[in-house]
Amino acid sequence: MNINISMSFLLDKIEDELELTTVCYRPEGLEQLEAQTNFTKRELQVLYRGFKNECPSGVVNEETFKQIYAQFFPHGDASMYAHYLFNAFDTAQTGSVKFEGFVMALSTLLRGTVHEKLRWTFNLYDINKDGYINKEEMMDIVKAIYDMMGKYTYPVLKQDAPRLHVEVFFQKMDKNKDGVVTLDEFIESCQEVRTILLLP
């Protein structure tokens, strides 16, 4: 009887190991990632350790991404914003993000040029990936941001604050008043605001 239990345990262990070897994903060489990103080899090693700690398979799916992201916003509902953010990270639209895709996006967001960051942000807002941002897409993202921040913001926000913000932003960004914001309009508008904010 003990032999049967031991054999059964051993077979289960072997199956688990085989499953892990087929499911686990290993990234390309760090030298290649170092050349493609704005991170050093040491930073990439630290990022990879953290990524593997949260995602032992080496790949993160949307549900796991949402759970991780929700930890940073305990007073709000981050699920919709995390959904949009995940879709922006998942450039191949496979339903999962490998370490390389994660670190490439992180490199852009943390150390990219202003133009690279704005292009990435435009992609986040362009939910349907048609190359334009319409008012509904902007509203979806802004509402998701407000939901993520929760009810405990200071000063307390009015119920219609997301809609009012979208109206103002969209009116400024839609330069030719055709009902959509192009990448060029988005970049130009954001750079105008950035210039205004940098003035003494």
DSSP the chain: -HHHHHHHHHHHHHHHHHHHHHH---PSPHHHHHHHSS--HHHHHHHHHHHHHH-TTSEEEHHHHHHHHHTT-TTS--HHHHHHHHHHH-TT-SSEEEHHHHHHHHHHHHHS-HHHHHHHHHHHH-TT-SS-EEHHHHHHHHHHHHHHH-S--SSPPPTTHHHHHHHHHHHHH-TT-SSEE-HHHHHHHHHHHHHHHH--
Question: 138: which 2 tokens?
Answer: 């902007």
CB 123 within 8 A of CB 132: no
Question: 109: which 2 tokens?
Answer: 């967001």
- Note whether 126 and 107 are same-domain residues: no
Model confidence at 200: pLDDT above 80: no
Could you list the residue range(s) of the whole structural domain that residue 173 is in?
116-199
- Note whether 103 and 44 are same-domain residues: yes
- Note whether 62 and 91 are same-domain residues: yes
- Note whether 24 and 122 are same-domain residues: no
- Note whether 4 and 83 are same-domain residues: yes
pTM for the full predicted model? 0.78
How many domains in the chain? Answer: 2
- Note whether 12 and 98 are same-domain residues: yes
Which of 72-76, 126-130, 132-136, 181-185 has the weakest average pLDDT? Answer: 72-76
- Note whether 101 and 60 are same-domain residues: yes
Query: Which is it for the CA torsion 11, 17, 20, 22, positive or negative?
Result: negative
How far is C-alpha 115 from the chain's CA centre? 18
For the stretch 8-52, pLDDT in tens is 444 454 445 444 443 455 566 788 999 999 999 999 999 999 999
- Note whether 79 and 9 are same-domain residues: yes
How far is C-alpha 87 from the chain's CA centre? 7
Domain CATH for 62? 1.10.238.10
Final residue belonging to a domain, choices 83, 112, 141: 112
- Note whether 75 and 160 are same-domain residues: no
Question: 196: which 2 tokens?
Answer: 């205004």
Final residue belonging to a domain, choices 82, 112, 142: 112
Q: Of the candidates 113, 61, 106, 111, which has an alpha carbon nearest to the alpha carbon of residue 87? A: 61
- Note whether 83 and 153 are same-domain residues: no
For the stretch 90-143, pLDDT in tens is 999 999 999 999 999 999 999 999 999 999 999 999 999 999 999 999 999 999
**Mean pLDDT, range 3-9, rounded to an integer:** 44
CB 162 within 8 A of CB 146: yes
- Note whether 122 and 72 are same-domain residues: no
CA dist., res. 150 & res. 74, Å (int): 8
- Note whether 99 and 159 are same-domain residues: no
Final residue belonging to a domain, choices 77, 112, 147: 112
CB 97 within 8 A of CB 90: yes
